[in-house]
Structure 1
Amino acid sequence: MSRVGKAPVFFDSGVQVSLTPANEVVVKGGKSTLTVPLKPVIKAKIEGDQIILTRENDEPQTRAYHGLFRALVQNAVTGVSKGWSRELVLNGVGYRASVSGKTLEMNLGYSHPIKFSIPDGIEIKVDKNTTVTVTGADRSKVGQVAAKIRGFRPPEPYLGKGVKYSDEHIRRKAGKSAGK
């Protein structure tokens, strides 16, 4: 058994879980509804307040899928109950962000402001013009949006200017050393 895959996924009373004939796990909660499609070799069953995933065979690829899909179902359950968030920090002179409607507008040192349309299921908040918080129920979507925002101006190693994750450490380089 996969160490991750054999552990059941527990969910509380505020979360409704159902299985579809197309081998999908549908998770409904206070935040939203998420669907996790499963491979044909992975089967799910609901027993009380837990979801148990099993696999048909012991091939290495199937064992890998077992752990993967268990983690995806766990992420969906956590997402609809608590939600996921990622925080970004804008570092640099004149770097700032603001949200207006479904658009995030950022000044990142370019000659023009960058307008980023916020996708459905994602909420973006800006604190003090330099901290952007991306929240949502779908963990992969939250990470994808945060990575896209970071990609507009990744942090550079000399001054540390750019958009970085709040928990990210930037390896700094020494500048040019003065010669004789």
Structure 2
Amino acid sequence: MSDLKGRRIAFLVTNGYEPSELYSPWDTVVEEGAEAVLVSPESGEISGGDHSQKVDLDVAEANVEDFDALVLPGGTKNADQIRMNTDAVNFTRAFFDAEKTVASICHAAWILTEADVLKDRNMTSYPSLQTDLRNAGANWADEELMVDGNLNTSRTPKDLPAFNEAIVNKLTEQN
């Protein structure tokens, strides 16, 4: 195992998130010593299925310079809503501009189309997004995990072990 002590990881989500895609990478980075911060356009608490989570920081107040990486959990409702929030899109784009790690799973890749950061990127996602992602300039493949520079992508909750490992590995490389 690696040591991510001193690292801050932003998790950008809103209501309708897929619980496993939030909590599995969250628990992984925390176990490795990182601080996980829930960033959202909502205040108070957000819910995903039977779960709820306290929001730590409003995305409008979030600054990419305060974080080492961004994790984008899926969930169809979450992903559809978050991509329509200008602050969330700008926050996501800022991670690419700063060349920091971004990890997207399942439907979360929709926000990457809005952020206009997919030209010539190799990636994966939930299969129903492949046409949207290709139209945004991505080279889409049906793979468990795709790593392209600072971008890590996976398809579904069954890919979480590889997804989580890739996040830790990428942050360990940055030490």
TM-score, with structure 1 as normaliser = 0.25
**With CA pairs under 8 Å and 6+ residues apart, which has the higher RCO, 1 or 2?**
2
Flag the structure with larger Rg.
Answer: 1
The structure in which a higher percent of residues are helix is: 2
The structure in which a higher percent of residues are strand is: 1
